Structure 1
Amino acid sequence: MTPAPFALGPALLFCPADRPDRFAKALDRADAVVLDLEDGVAPGAKAAARQAVVGTPLDPARTIVRVNPAGTPEQAADLAALVGTAYRTLMLPKADGRFVGPLVRDDGTPYAVVPLCETAAGVLAAPALAARPDVVALAWGADDLVASLGGTSSRRADGRYRDVARHARSAVLLAAGAGGKAAVDAVHLDLEDLDGLRAEALDAAAVGFVASLCVHPSQVPVVRDAYAPTPDEVAGARQVLAAAATAPGAFALDGHMVDGPVLMQAHAVLRRAGIDTWHDDEEVRR
C-alpha cells in the first residue's frame, strides 16, 4: 500500500517534542507541525519527549514526527514509542543509503516518509530516495550539510547561501521532481531576517517547492504570504488558460508566446491559489 501524495504546507513548523505545552499552539499557527525528536531535544530528554508525543495526540493528518537518524538506538526507541499512535508521517534526518525500510506502522501499512537530505551522502542519495514508494517528499538542510563537509558556514555575510548549499537545494528539488515527489525547502535560522525569509520563500514557490520549514511561529505568515499567488498572478493565469481553451495550439497573448510550459505554469499558479483547474475548467473561465 503506497502512502497518499504529500499535501501539507506551505508552512511547516518545527516544535521540540519535549515541549508538549507548545504542540497544540504550533499546530494551530502553522499548516502542519513537525514534532522534533532529533536536534530539538537534548540527549537526556529524549525519553520524556517520546512520552510527550505519545501522551499528547494531535491531528495525524497535519503532524509529522521527526525521528532520530537511521541506524541509531534512538531511532529504534522512537519507532517503538510510536507503535499504537495515529501518526503516519515521519521525517528522517540525515537520510542516506542507511535508510533501507520500509518503515511500517503497527497495522502493517507503511509510514509516509520525508527524508531530510542534509549531508553530502544524503544529497547524492536524493534520486534513490525519491524513487522509493514510501517516500512522499524530499526536504533538505544547509547547515548539517556544510558540517558534514567539514565547513563552518552555509551562508555568506549578506545572508545568501554559499554555492554548495545552492547546489544541494537544486539537486534535491530536481531529484524530487524527477521522482514525482514533493520538495520542501530548508529552514531560515535568522529569526529577525524576515525579509530574507520572504525572498527565499518567494523563490521556493517560483521554482516548485511545495512548502518551507519554519523554526518560529513568526515565520509562518511570511511563508504563507510568499507562497500565495498575488491577485494579479491569479488573474493572469486565468487569462492564459481561458485564451488557451479556444486556441488550436501555441499562441501569442499580450506580446508573449503561450505554449505547453506556460500553460503548466498557469495551472501551478491557480493550484497554489486553491483552484484545481485540471478538473474544473469552468472555474478558469470565471
Structure 2
Amino acid sequence: MIRSLLYIPASSERFIEKAHTRGADAIVLDLEDAVVPAEKTPARQRLEISVPQVGQGGATVYVRVNSEEDRLFDDAEAAARAGAGGLLVPKTGSAEMLAAIARRLEPIEHQMGRQPLDFVPLVEDAAALLDARSIARFERVSAMALGSEDLATSMGALPTPDVLRMPKLLLHYAAKAEGRRSYGMLRSVADYRDTEGLKAAAAEAKAFGFDGSTCIHPSVVPVLNEVFAPSADEIAWAEKVIAANAEAERSGTGAFLLDGKFIDVPIVERARRTLAQRR
C-alpha cells in the first residue's frame, strides 16, 4: 500500500538528505518540473547516490523523468541503474510511448539482474485522458495519476475542483478497470498549506477508491498516511464482519444481518481488503 508519494527535487541535496525521515511511503525524485534546465543532467548523474539515499528508510523510490525524447530515455536508464523502483512518466500520450521506454530498459535490467521498473503514467492532456484505459493496460503500469496543472493548462482551463473532478474520476475508472492503483484527489494539491482542505479531499478520494496521493511538501505526508490507511473503527468493523461471515459459513448461511445491517459477498470482500491494508 502506497498512501503518500512525496516529490523531492532531484537537484536539491538539502531536500534529498532529509527525504528518508519524512515518513512517506514513496519518494519521487523529480528530474522534470522541479529542476531548472542547467541542473537536469547533473541531477540525473547523481541518481546513483540520491536513489539509495532517499530510500534508506524503506520508502519505494520513483524517478519522474523528463518527457522530451532527448532526455526521457537517458533519465529512465539512469533510474534503472541507480536501483529505483519505478518511473513517473509525465505527459504520457499512449501505450506505445511506454513500450519504447520498456524496450530501452529491458537489456539493462536483464544485464543487472534486477526487477523491471514499474511505470506510473501521468496523464496531462485531453487526448491522453480519453485513451487512458489503453495506457493503463500496458503491462508495466502499476498505477495512474493525473497532472492537474498541466491538464488544465492544456485545455485553457483553471485547475479548480469543479474542473478537475470529472477528469480525475475518468482516469480513476480507467485505472481500476485494468486493476491498477489510482493516485490523486479530486482537486489540485498545489496549496499544501490548506491542511484541513487536503484532509477533507483525501477522505473524499478514499471514499471513491483512490489508493493514495502525491504531495509536494512533507507536511502533507502525515495527512495522507492517516486518511488513506484504514481507521481503527474500520478495522474493528472489518474484523467483526469476517468473524460473523465465518460463523455464517459454518451454519450454511449465505447473506446475514450484523448489527441490523445486511451483509453479503461484496461487503465481506471489502472487509477483507480493509484488513489487508492494516499497517
TM-score bracket for this pair, using the shorter chain length: 0.7 to 0.9
* C-alpha separation in 2, matches of 1:89 and 1:229: 26
Cα separation, partners in 2 of 1:23 and 1:260, compared to 1, 3 Å: same
Is it true that 1:107 corresponds to 2:109 in the alignment? yes
* Counterpart residue identity of residue 250, structure 1: A
* C-alpha separation in 2, matches of 1:244 and 1:139: 36
Is it true that 1:202 corresponds to 2:207 in the alignment? no
Q: Higher helix proportion, which one?
A: 2
Is it true that 1:62 corresponds to 2:82 in the alignment? no
* Counterpart residue identity of residue 38, structure 1: E
Is it true that 1:154 corresponds to 2:155 in the alignment? no
- 1:211-250 aligned at under 5 Å gives the runs 211-247=212-248, 248-250=253-255
Q: Normalising by the residue count of structure 1, what TM-score does the alignment of the two structures yield?
A: 0.84
Q: SS state of the match for residue 114, structure 1?
A: strand
1:79 to 70, 76, 80: 76
**Bigger shift: 211-220 or 226-235?**
226-235
Counterpart contact for 2:65–2:72, Cα < 8 Å: yes
- 1:155-170 aligned at under 5 Å gives the runs 155=160, 161-162=161-162, 164-170=163-169
* Counterpart residue identity of residue 271, structure 1: A
Q: SS state of the match for residue 99, structure 1?
A: helix
Match of 1:129 in 2: 135
Match of 2:85 in 1: 88
* Counterpart residue identity of residue 134, structure 1: R
Matched pairs, number? 259
Match of 1:51 in 2: 45
* C-alpha separation in 1, matches of 2:79 and 2:219: 29
Q: Offset at 1:230? A: 2.2
Counterpart contact for 2:51–2:61, Cα < 8 Å: no
| Structure 2 spans left out of the alignment, 5+ residues | none
* C-alpha separation in 2, matches of 1:55 and 1:235: 43
2:260 to 251, 255, 264: 255
* C-alpha separation in 1, matches of 2:117 and 2:170: 24
Counterpart contact for 1:20–1:53, Cα < 8 Å: no
Counterpart contact for 1:95–1:115, Cα < 8 Å: yes
Cα separation, partners in 2 of 1:83 and 1:230, compared to 1, 3 Å: closer
Q: Aligned-residue CA RMSD in angstroms?
A: 1.9
Q: Offset at 1:172? A: 1.3
Q: Offset at 1:124? A: 1.4
Q: Offset at 1:207? A: 2.2
* C-alpha separation in 2, matches of 1:94 and 1:236: 41
Match of 1:42 in 2: 36
* C-alpha separation in 2, matches of 1:14 and 1:100: 21
- 1:162-221, CA deviations, whole angstroms, 9 ceiling, x for partnerless residues? 1x4111111111111111111111561112100111111112222222221010000001
Match of 1:266 in 2: 271
Q: SS state of the match for residue 245, structure 1?
A: helix
Q: What fraction of aligned residue pairs are identical, expressed as a percent?
A: 37
Q: Offset at 1:28? A: 2.4
* Counterpart residue identity of residue 122, structure 1: A
* Counterpart residue identity of residue 107, structure 1: E
* C-alpha separation in 1, matches of 2:260 and 2:81: 59
Q: SS state of the match for residue 81, structure 1?
A: helix
Match of 2:176 in 1: 177
Runs of 4 or more off by more than 3 Å in structure 1?
80-83
Q: Offset at 1:116? A: 0.9
* Counterpart residue identity of residue 215, structure 1: I
Is it true that 1:120 corresponds to 2:126 in the alignment? yes
Q: Normalising by the residue count of structure 2, what TM-score does the alignment of the two structures yield?
A: 0.86
* Counterpart residue identity of residue 37, structure 2: P
Counterpart contact for 1:201–1:223, Cα < 8 Å: yes
